[in-house]
Amino acid sequence: MWYHRLSQILCSTRHQLKGGFRLQALRYPCFQKRILAAPRWQHSAMGPLNGAWQQHEDHLELRYAGMVMRFDYVWLRDHCRSASCYNSKTNQRSLDTASVDLAIKPQTIRMNETMLFLTWPDGHVTRYNLEWLLKNSYEGQKQAVQPRILWNAEIYRQAQVLPVDFQSFLETQDGLKKFLQSFLLYGIAFVENVPPTREDTEKLAGRISLIRETIYGRMWYFTSDFSRGDTAYTKLALDRHTDTTYFQEPCGIQVFHCLKHEGTGGKTLLVDGFYAAERVLQRAPADFDLLSKVPLKHEYIENVGECHNHMIGVGPVLNIYPWNKELYLIRYNNYDRAVINTVPYDVVHRWYAAHRTLTTELRRPENELWIKLKPGKALFIDNWRVLHGRESFTGYRQLCGCYLTRDDVLNTARFLGLQA
Ligand SMILES: C[N+](C)(C)CCCC[C@H](N)C(=O)O
Ligand SMILES: O=C(O)CCC(=O)C(=O)O
Ligand SMILES: [Fe+2]
């Protein structure tokens, strides 16, 4: 679904680019006098990808492989990959960007089938591979969305995603890769045949990431013993939510492993927050927009035994990248949402309405995936995307798990060649 929407955005952007080009020539009558050559398309020797460029007053317009790209001149100087500007051993910039004249323009531009050559006023030559420009341009980035399959219960069940075996997860690259692939696509993934101990659960987590230690400890291990000031430590039902919304950066991944349950109830609820948000975007785009713009606080206040904590995290419910509108983080926890004092009353009212729209989508029964966690079956949840909850329960129930740092999970995925 994301793909469709994004390709629509992309198409409209391309039209704007074409239109924008015509407009610019009209708006500036002295346009042609100020640059050396008339703004005509300069073509590379005819190749299959048919590149062409045009030099404008303040940017270079490049057409390549069916894409129109615009590059600011300072950008083109700043990203020079020559040995004196860039250390390709460490993949770090050596050039001091602050030393580049903000009014810099290339003296000459040349292009062949695969490369673009720019000579700067001081004689320095920058060479760009056209494929590199295609991939690294703003226009190119708009296409680079994270592949995802948004799901409701039906879609997830139909997909028949296979759990990965503990042994193969730990010992083979293939097992790990399969696991990460489905985790990235669906935002949840299971590992089976895990020995029901805290140590083995820790081993599991350590295979893909650094464990994120929080106020709950490194590995946590909890029952309904009221040991902490949070309803998770009771037998009560918990409505769908994401965790640690009260951190400036909510935990990226949550691992659950139920080590024991002698009693009834206690099923786990999973809801794809991105699926629900996409529905909001389609049905009520103004609500989506508001939820992505209004910053809110979430808060955790605890004074139980030796535990004294006061955490505050600020951010909108929906977090989107400004360049392609891709959703990357949902912060949704009605229990932990703090007093709203960052928004004027009329916006507050519209925000409540938008929150209701999202909540309605999140609560549709067809979007709910219910599973019973059992010893041996560990669940990884993308806490930036998938909401979890639980049914109330009776009896003794022991859950262990931990949070993972998102950067490190994605790092492992990229190392295995996955897009993350
Ligand atoms: C998972 N563990 C039991 C350690 C913590 C529970 C945290 C619960 C909190 N209300 C939140 O949503 O962040
Ligand atoms: O008890 C459960 O199944 C989950 C409780 C919960 O939401 C949490 O620990 O974050
Ligand atoms: Fe939770």
Look at residue 142 in the predicted model and tell me its pLDDT.
Answer: 85
Ligand nearest to the CA of 236: 2
Ranges of each domain in the chain: 16-141, 153-415
Q: Which ligand is nearest to the CA of 391?
A: 2
Which protein residue's CA is at the shortest distance from atom 10 of ligand 1? Answer: 230
pLDDT of residue 48: 61
Residue with tokens 């069940």: 157
Ligand sitting nearest the alpha carbon of 230: 1
C-alpha 401 – ligand 3 centre gap (Å): 11
pLDDT at residue number 47: 62
Per-residue pLDDT, 41: 85
Task: Report the nearest atom of ligand 1 relative to the CA of 336.
Answer: 10
Which of 212, 213, 216, when mutated, tests ligand 1's pocket best, judged by the most ligand atoms within 8 Å of its CB?
216
Mean pLDDT (10-residue bins), the chain, 420 residues: 34 31 31 49 73 96 96 98 98 98 98 97 98 95 91 98 98 98 98 98 98 97 92 97 98 98 98 98 98 98 96 98 96 98 96 98 98 98 98 97 98 97
Q: How far is the CA of 61 from the centre of ligand 2 (A)?
A: 53
Is it true that 16-141 and 153-415 share their CATH fold? no
Q: Which residues are near ligand 2 (CB < 6 Å)?
A: 232, 238, 243, 268, 388, 390, 399
pLDDT at 369: 98
Q: What is the pTM of this model?
A: 0.89
Looking at residue 35, its pLDDT comes to 42
Q: What is the CATH number of domain 16-141?
A: 3.30.2020.30
Q: What is the ipTM of this complex?
A: 0.99
Pocket of ligand 1 (CB under 6 A): 216, 220, 222, 230, 232, 241, 243-244, 333, 335-336
At 50 the pLDDT is 79
CATH topology of domain 153-415: Double-stranded beta-helix (3.60.130)
